[in-house]
Chain A
Amino acid sequence: DGGITQSPKYLFRKEGQNVTLSCEQNLNHDAMYWYRQDPGQGLRLIYYSQIVNDFQKGDIAEGYSVSREKKESFPLTVTSAQKNPTAFYLCASSMRGPPTGATASGSGHEQFFGPGTRLTVL
């Protein structure tokens, strides 16, 4: 988990509330990611960001929002529009963003994960 911190470890939310999950990295990585993990479904990408002030939707972005105002920080807000938010949320970072044919370097694309935040809706 080293280098990436997530807080809080456990979070309880009442229905209709927005909550923000913190993710900070001191690895000087360019790219950051948010995943949601549910039992039996593996990891699903919510949002990712390759540079400051820019981010892209993943596969399940509805009901979530992010910001990337600083390189080391990528907070995730779970809004009241997310109908089933109870899950384990994982933040990750990588030195480089996803490889492409033009920019593939062979290194730096592996993602490193924080310890996770378990969100429960009461």
Chain B
Amino acid sequence: AQSVAQPEDQVNVAEGNPLTVKCTYSVSGNPYLFWYVQYPNRGLQFLLKYITGDNLVKGSYGFEAEFNKSQTSFHLKKPSALVSDSALYFCAEYAGNNRKLIWGLGTSLAVNP
């Protein structure tokens, strides 16, 4: 079965340090991969996507993600974290003819001042 794994429930990082939020997917072929962010009691906001092309994808608010086909990973990164980046982050994928977006369970990011 297709699945998206976010292996860390929570990530803590100091303000100004680089951050990484991990995501791995399980599918053969060419996945469509997405990252979303959710602030408390709000809807999800689209950050970025990978469809094809360059493995490094740039998105909103200074975030980027690196697609690695051999490791089936799509980790979210930011060179310098801000306290305002503290939120819940979700990875998701469409794959093949699956007509539903498969979601990870989310990673809570805490950026400490």
Is B43 in contact with A109, judged by CB distance below 8 angstroms?
A: no
Binding site for A on B (CB under 8 A): 32, 34, 36, 41-46, 49, 51-52, 90, 94, 96-101, 103-106
User: Quick check: A98 and B98 within 8 Å, CB to CB?
Assistant: yes
Tally of A-B residue pairs with Cβ under 8 A?
Answer: 62
Instruction: Report the bound CA distance from A28 to B100 in whole Å.
Output: 21
Question: In the bound complex, do residue A99 and residue B94 qualify as a contact, i.e. CB atoms below 8 Å apart?
Answer: yes
Known: A97-B99, A99-B32, A99-B94. A42 touches B104 (CB 8 A): yes
Give the chain B neighbours of A1 by CB distance below 8 A.
Answer: 42-43, 45
A residues less than 8 Å from B106 (CB atoms)? 42
Known contacts: A42-B104, A59-B100. The answer to whether A116 contacts B34 by CB under 8 A is: no
Q: Nearest Cβ distance between residue A113 and chain B, in whole angstroms?
A: 4
One of A6, A98, A116 near B94 (C-beta < 8 A): A98
Contacts of B96 in A (CB 8 A): 101
Interface of B, secondary structure class, is loop
Main secondary structure of the interface of A (DSSP, over half): loop
- Residues 1-19 of A, flagged 1 when their CB comes within 8 A of B and 0 if not, give 1001010000000000000
A106 to B46: give the CA distance in the assembly, Å.
16
Given known pairs A99-B32, A99-B94, the reply for A90 and B99 (CB within 8 Å) is no
Task: Please state if A115 and B43 are interface contacts (CB–CB under 8 Å).
Answer: yes
Shortest CB distance A49–B (Å):
12
Q: Do B100 and A107 have beta carbons less than 8 Å apart?
A: no
B56 to chain A, nearest CB (A): 17
Residues 49 to 100 of chain A near chain B (Cβ within 8 Å): 56, 58-59, 88, 90, 92, 97-100
B6 to chain A, nearest CB (A): 9
Residues from chain B with a CB closer than 8 A to the CB of A90 are: 43-44
Cα distance A56–B99 in the bound complex, in angstroms: 10
Q: How far is the CA of A92 from the CA of B36 in the complex (A)?
A: 13
Which residues of chain A are within 8 angstroms of B49 by Cβ–Cβ distance? 110
CB-CB under 8 A from A48, the residues of chain B are: 100
Residue in B41, B44, B45, B99 whose CB lies within 8 Å of A98: B99
* Nearest B-chain residue to A44, judged by Cβ: B103
Report the Cα distance A59→B1, complex, angstroms: 14
